[in-house]
Amino acid sequence: MTNFKAYLNHISLDCVIFGFHENQLKVLLLQMKYTKKWALPGGFVKKEESFEEAAERVLKERTGMDNIFLQQFHVFSDPKRSEMNPAVKDLEKSGSGEGLDWFSQRFISTGFYALVDFHKVDPAPDFFSDKCEWKALEEIDNLMMDHRQILDKALETLRLHLTYQPIGYNLLPKKFTMPELQKLYETILGKSLDRRNFQRKILSYKILNKLDERKKGGAYKAPYLYEFNLENYNKALKEGFSGSW
């Protein structure tokens, strides 16, 4: 059981971990052991940690990955958000009274979203869960507490960031086709984009290198492969670019 004395009272964090697989945007979720409710990965902040350090630790524990793209996006402070915490019921059903007082307190949670390579993640449940699985956005129904609200806000923020920041390096393989990149944008935005306009616009940002090779195993005229120009990509992350999709 966690030593809760090592953590700051009333403060928590929740992480929306996005991955892209089979042309679907997916989210990593935990299923609670006893209530069987699905939840976002999260945790608490140690007294010697910053919020970012705590989020990186939680992500490492749930995904097995380091150096994950991480963005803080909102604070969730509804006074009633902690009243229906299923962790309390899980502790009661497990026969353990330890931690009941901790989980019964009010928590103000900071939301982070992370972008990861689906194939590099090794999902791992925490003490209170028995499953850690990817779920497509369309499959996600009820989540515990206000986690659906947190997920929706993360997606809203990701779409907003898409208008002035590049997206894809953390979600796509090293080499990818233009249709694959366009599909990623369409999936995040939830709408179709004109092929010619998308290609013209994304190339104008100079964040891509066109490779002298085509995707294998496709049609006769297989599409060319691209990779991100990391120098220009990172510059665009810092400085941004104009335009909307």
d(CA 80, CA 232): 45
Q: What's 63's domain CATH number?
A: 3.90.79.10
**CA–CA dist 68, 82 (Å, integer):** 28
> Is residue 170 a part of any domain in this protein?
no
**Is residue 130 assigned to a domain?**
yes
Domain span at residue 232?
176-239
3-state helix, strand, coil in the chain (%, to 5): 35, 30, 35
Pick the closest to residue 115 from 175, 76, 73 (CA basis): 73
Residues 55 and 100 in one domain: yes
Q: Which two tokens stand for residue 65?
A: 């990955």
Q: 14 and 46 share a domain?
A: yes
pTM of the model: 0.89
pLDDT higher for 187 or 91? 187
- The answer to whether residues 122 and 17 belong to one domain is yes
- Beta strand 129-136 pairing with 176-177: unpaired
**pLDDT at residue 77 greater than cutoff 90:** yes
pLDDT in tens, 198-245: 999 999 999 999 999 998 876 567 899 999 999 999 999 999 887 667
Question: Based on the domain organization, do 149 and 42 belong to the same domain?
Answer: yes
Res 141 pLDDT > 90: no
Percent of the chain with pLDDT over 70: 90
The verdict on 146 and 225 lying in the same domain is no
Q: What is the CATH number of the domain that holds 209?
A: 1.10.10.10
Task: Dump pLDDT digits (tens) for 80-111.
Answer: 887 666 666 666 665 555 667 788 888 999 99
Tokens of 118: 């689906």
Same domain, 129 and 191: no
Q: For residue 157, which phi and psi values (nearest 5 degrees)?
A: -70, -40
Region of 139 please: left (phi>0), alpha (psi -120 to 50) or beta.
alpha
Q: What is the mean pLDDT of residues 40-53?
A: 96
Which string of DSSP letters, residue by residue, matches 165-209? Answer: S---TTTS-SSEEHHHHHHHHHHHHTS---HHHHHHHHHHTT-EE
* Domain total in the chain: 2
Question: Using alpha carbons only, what angle is made at residue 44 by residues 80 and 124, rounded to the nearest 5 degrees?
Answer: 110
